[in-house]
Structure 1
């Protein structure tokens, strides 16, 4: 029987208490187990941390790794960045012969592919940080007052926009082909829901959300 240890992570207490983020991770893990796992399977442990992905000293993650090593189980996470945002940490786990890592959102990825993905994701985060700083600098040069709370508000707005675009790009491979095939916004939303692709908050898609996503994607062309 295939054995798994599942691990989930959210960054804030608010996300942990509300379930935001955890529901989406549960969905991805469930989809993997139902569609890609050897049958039958058993989950021998489930662990959750509320901590930043930049912090690799997380008690529940340590427990999950120890259990996976002890029982020869696969460590199953919804996404690679739920485990860590540091490519060095991911690389260390991939080199650990006692750790069998499985990422639900990349069900067929091998160790080499996971390493490459971690490296690319780290580069993308660095670029987003640089781009955010550049946007703030340009705003200041235009004479925009960024003092105090306004500075913080603009930073939050820039980061929010970046995250929204990143999410849009993740689903572009589903949305754009459907639109090109003549599907309506409502039909695209239905297909996303049928495929188990949640919105940013893990809910169901509506036509208006599909429209906004397409607009974000087209603004980058």
Structure 2
């Protein structure tokens, strides 16, 4: 029988009390168990932390890890960022031969793929935090005070293009190898979405958007 230890995490006490985020995690975990898990299976433990994903010292996570390894169960989380937002922490878990880990939203991902997704997600978060300041700084360096609506529009468009170029560069080491290995645009879009990487507008990836990223990289 397949045994599971489930771990969930929300970032704030308000989320913990209201159930915000927990319902979605529970839904994804249930979907994995009902659709992808070998049968029969049994959930032998559930743990919840109300704490930032940046903190590695989370008491319930430590209990969940110990429980899973002690009983030779699979640690199951809804999304990779519920486990941690630090790629170094994810890598440490991947190197543990006693730990079997599954991510509900990426049911077929192996440890190597999860490591790549963790690295991408961390990179994306850093990029998002820096891109606005960088774009404004570069726009300022390229010109003087904007003189009119047309100038402002042109300048804004340049900033948008700069952001798009930088975003494409951040994804190059993933989308290009996947494409070269025969992955479809849809496959790549699903992989980016599963990794928790948002589009420029904060949505999920579509094949057409992956195509534009690849075309942008070809022009650079």
Q: TM-score range by the shorter chain?
A: 0.5 to 0.7
Bigger radius of gyration among the two: 2
- CA separation of 1:126 and 1:116: change in aligned 2, threshold 3 A: same
Structure 1 partner of 2:71: 71
Q: Which residue of 2 aligns with 1:53?
A: 53
Residue in structure 2 matched with residue 157 of structure 1 by the alignment: none
Q: Give the corresponding residue for 2:86.
A: 86
Q: Which structure 1 segments of 5+ residues have no match?
A: 144-161, 177-221
CA contact (8 A) 2:198 2:204 kept: no
Which string of whole-angstrom CA distances, capped at 9 and with x for unpartnered residues, describes residues 161-209 of structure 1?
x979564125x46xx8xxxxxxxxxxxxxxxxxxxxxxxxxxxxxxxxx
Query: Secondary structure, in 3 states, of the residue corresponding to 1:81?
Result: helix
Q: TM-score, normalization: structure 1? A: 0.64
Q: Distance in 1 between matches of 2:126 and 2:203?
A: 19
Matches within 5 A, 1:33-182: 33-134=33-134, 165=200, 167-170=202-205, 172=206
- Structure 2 CA distance for partners of 1:8 and 1:168, relative to 1, 3 Å: same
Indicate the residue corresponding to 1:184 in structure 2.
none
**CA gap 1:134/1:37 in 2 versus in 1, 3 angstroms:** same
- 1:90-114 per-residue CA deviation (whole Å, 9 max, x = no partner) reads 0010100111010000000011100
- Gap regions ≥5 residues in structure 2: 147-196, 209-220
For residues 29 and 115 of structure 1, do their structure 2 counterparts lie closer, same or farther at Cα, with a shift above 3 Å needed? same
Query: What's the counterpart of residue 31 of structure 2?
Result: 31
Alignment-derived partner of residue 153 in structure 2? none
Distance 1:41-1:95 versus aligned 2 partners, 3 A rule: same
Question: How many correspondences in the alignment?
Answer: 156
RMSD of aligned alpha carbons: 2.6
Structure 1 residues 58-84: Cα deviation after superposition (integer angstroms, max 9, x where no partner):
000000000001000000000000000
- Residue 189 of structure 1 corresponds to which residue in structure 2? none
> In 1, Cα distance between the equivalents of 2:84 and 2:138?
32
Change (3 A) 1:2 1:83: same
Please state how far the C-alpha of 1:131 moved relative to its aligned partner: 1.4
